[in-house]
Amino acid sequence: MLKYSKSIVILNVPRRLIPGVPIVGLAHGRRYPQYPTHHSLLFTRLNSTKTTPPAPKPTPVEKLTPVKPTEITEPKKKLTLWEKVKHEVNHYKDGTKLLGLEIKISSKLLYKMATGYELSRREYRQLQRTIGDVLRIFPFAMFVIIPFAELFLPIALKLFPNLLPSTYESKIDKERKLAILKNTRTKVSAALRTSRQNIKLPSNVTEEQKANFKDFYSKLRSGDEVPRDQVLKVAQLFKDDLILDNVSRSTLVAFCKYMGMRPYGTDQILRYRIRHKMLKIKNDDMAIDYEGVDSLSVPELQVACASRGITISSATPAEMRLWLNSWLDMRLRSHIPSTLMLLVNAYTYGDAQIYPTRMAALKAVLNSLPEEFYHEQELQVDPKNATFKQRINVVKEQEHLIKSESVQEQDNVILVKDKLNLDDHQPPAKEEAPKQKEEQPK
């Protein structure tokens, strides 16, 4: 049964009553209950018994990210055998033209040098690269002269990838070499960071340098902050020749791999090759510093950084110029040895977050020496206060190195006279002029 509101006012007096639903009406001034008819229901407003459902909560709308349309890439068309042969012929044809052009340019540079003019760094590198390419032509020409020898050319190129001149290298070959060098340097960098090597210090040091050396390592052990000047002064005590003469073979092999050389030969041959490579880098440092880093183009900048073990992958030209300037400043002005600089680059290679600056990496290199090594360095710095036990240990170590080199030279026919010197010769101190007495104002 529907329930109606009691506050409804009926306008018309009903004729037909509907029982059961009382309402209030007026008749002769009296108030009595009446019942609405079906006519009066047309003018009434009924209350619904159905409960109104609650308003639904607004659902959060996720932000739609624009979807990039998928690019339809056409499948690469496979080259036929004739197209591959044609591509290789054109490649070697262009390489031969480029080699002829380089020979023409380098012949002028050679004549210029023979007449007494000095070559710039770019001209010298061009002449050096062309001479290397010409020397590679002779073994490569044997495959053309000897009948059916060209069948073994792919095998020879697989075993000796540097057999071809640089003008015949494709872009894929250069990228493959850079990837191999990057992988090798990453592994060598991790090995050098975890290794503990024996490196000697020179014995001709002053009393101030002795005290500075001992104070430096005492601060490292106590965890105190070491100033930049003190780190540079201690690093200057290490010399390239003494470092290379006393490191183990594993370190020499790591140096060769990091510098992009094949570690073939005895320890003496490896030391000679490393010295020769570092001597070329040292001369190149002075040439770059004289002409300025900004004079280098981007390819020349990449080659210069790669030869010094500086990372070039995912590096902008501005970053490479900054790192190369830092190398030149520490090498030529602070006189840090090349071997320590190479270790600094190895420590920071691939992950710059470990050591954010080269000074922090240099401090880590000096701090990575073991306790036993510190006593040996203390013997080299202060030989007067050394005990006989320390002297005996050093002599035995040198005897062991001499025996190992003699055993290697017995089975090797090629002997190298390593007379190269990498140590920086400090210029003699200028005599101070006598101070003139200042004239007193009258």
Report how far apart, in Å, the C-alpha atoms of 137 and of each of 51, 159, 197, 284 are: 99, 17, 41, 27
End-to-end CA distance of the chain: 130
- Cβ atoms of residues 414 and 269 within 8 Å: yes
CB 370 within 8 A of CB 275: no
Domains of the chain, residue spans: 1-43, 86-169, 178-410
Rounded CA gap, 324 and 318, in Å? Answer: 10
Triad 406, 408, 410: Cα angle to 5°: 70
pLDDT: which is higher, 30 or 405: 405
- Give me the mean pLDDT over the 111-131 stretch: 81
- Reported as a single tens digit per residue, the pLDDT across 356-368 is 777 787 877 777 6
- Split at pLDDT 50, 70, 90, the class of 191 is low
Residue 261: the pLDDT is: 84
Q: Can you tell me the mean pLDDT for 335-343?
A: 84
For residue 254, pLDDT beyond 80: yes
Question: Which amino acid would we find at residue 228?
Answer: R
Most confident of 219-223, 280-284, 437-441: 280-284
pTM above 0.85, yes or no: no
Tens-digit pLDDT profile for residues 371-385 = 444 444 555 555 555
Element (H, E) at 405: helix 388-410
For residues 287-300, average pLDDT: 90
Q: Is a pLDDT exceeding 70 seen at residue 323?
A: yes
DSSP class of residue 294 equals G
Q: What is the pLDDT of residues 197-208, one digit of tens each?
A: 444 455 555 667
Kindly tell me if the per-residue pLDDT of 154 is higher than 60.
Answer: yes
Q: What was the pLDDT predicted at 431?
A: 36
Mean per-residue pLDDT of the chain: 69
CB distance 123 to 286 below 8 Å: no
What would the two tokens of residue 171 be?
């872009």
Q: What does the alpha-carbon distance between residue 353 and residue 342 come to, in Å, rounded to a whole number?
A: 18
pLDDT value for 436: 37
Whether the pLDDT of residue 161 is over 70: the answer is no
Angle between helices 358-367 and 207-222 (to 10 degrees): 90
How far is residue 246 from each of residues 69, 158, 189, 236, measured CA to CA in Å? Answer: 62, 36, 20, 17
